[in-house]
């Protein structure tokens, strides 16, 4: 870093490094926002840099990467705390379905032929037995991701069924 170098010149020089860091962190959405965070981190690095502790480029790299990782963690935490989870979405979407056991069984009988064997197992264990994805996975000795895939496929089919049922009414 040169003493008489303006921040704009420094930002231009470090632009490829910023995009490299963003690529290594798999940042492909909200790139403008993350670039701005990286630019602010570069500016802070230029202010706090101590020449006796090493090269500026190394310090800038660590500062930029740290700031971007912090922002990624904040976004992930926000998502986990504020975005509806799949189980909440399922409950909200299926609120209009009958609550009695007989009516729920009738619904199941109507949509079961459209579901695969695994999706039928998920549906039964989730809705009739009230088990979580983790409990289903443990009981069937499969991964939680496999159960999530069953759920995802079943929900697509349930959604199609619900749309079709509304159109018929």
* Exposed / middle / buried, residue 102 (Cβ in 10 Å: 0-12, 13-18, 19+): exposed
Number of domains into which the chain is organized: 2
Q: What is the model's pLDDT at position 16? A: 94
| Number of neighbours of residue 63 by Cβ within 10 angstroms | 20
Query: Taking the alpha carbons of 133, 138, 142, 144 in that order, is the dihedral positive or negative?
Result: positive
- In this structure, are 63 and 120 located in the same domain? no
Q: What is the CATH number of the domain that holds 126?
A: 1.10.10.10
What is the 8-class DSSP label of residue 25?
T
Q: Are residues 114 and 145 in the same domain?
A: yes
Q: Are residues 62 and 95 in the same domain?
A: no
Is 97 among the domain residues? Answer: yes
Rama region for 26: left / alpha / beta (φ>0; ψ in -120 to 50; rest):
left
Residues 59 and 53: beta-carbon distance below 8 Å: yes
Rounded-to-integer distance, Cα 65 and Cα 134, Å: 34
pLDDT at residue 71 greater than cutoff 90:
yes
Q: Same domain, yes or no, for 70 and 91?
A: no
- % pLDDT > 90, the chain: 36
Q: How far is CA 15 from CA 39, 67, 154, 156, in A?
A: 9, 15, 45, 42
Using DSSP, state whether 84 is helix, strand or coil. coil
Domain range enclosing 26: 7-82
Q: In this predicted model, what pLDDT tens digit does every residue of 85-133 receive, in sequence order? A: 555 555 554 544 444 556 667 767 777 888 888 888 888 888 777 788 8
Q: What are phi and psi of 17, to 5 degrees?
A: -65, -40
Per-chain mean pLDDT for the chain: 82
Is residue 147 within 8 Å of residue 137, measured between CB atoms?
yes
User: What size, in residues, is the chain?
Assistant: 169
Residue 32 has pLDDT above 90, yes or no: yes
Residue 2 included in any domain: no
């Amino acid at each position: 870093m040169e003493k008489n170098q303006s921040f704009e010149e420094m930002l231009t020089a470090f632009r490829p490094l910023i995009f490299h860091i963003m690529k290594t962190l798999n940042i492909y959405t909200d790139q403008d926002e993350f670039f701005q965070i990286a630019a602010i981190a570069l500016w802070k690095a230029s202010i706090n840099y101590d020449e006796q502790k090493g090269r500026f480029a190394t310090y800038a790299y660590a500062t930029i990467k740290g700031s971007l990782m912090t922002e990624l963690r904040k976004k992930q935490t926000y998502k986990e705390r504020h975005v509806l989870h799949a189980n909440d979405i399922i409950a909200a979407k299926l609120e209009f379905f009958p609550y009695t056991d007989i009516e729920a069984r009738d619904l199941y009988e109507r949509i079961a032929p459209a579901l695969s064997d695994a999706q039928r197992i998920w549906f039964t264990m989730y809705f009739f037995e009230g088990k979580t994805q983790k409990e289903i996975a443990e009981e069937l000795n499969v991964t939680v991701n496999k159960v999530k895939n069953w759920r995802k496929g079943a929900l697509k089919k349930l959604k199609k069924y619900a749309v079709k049922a509304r159109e018929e009414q």
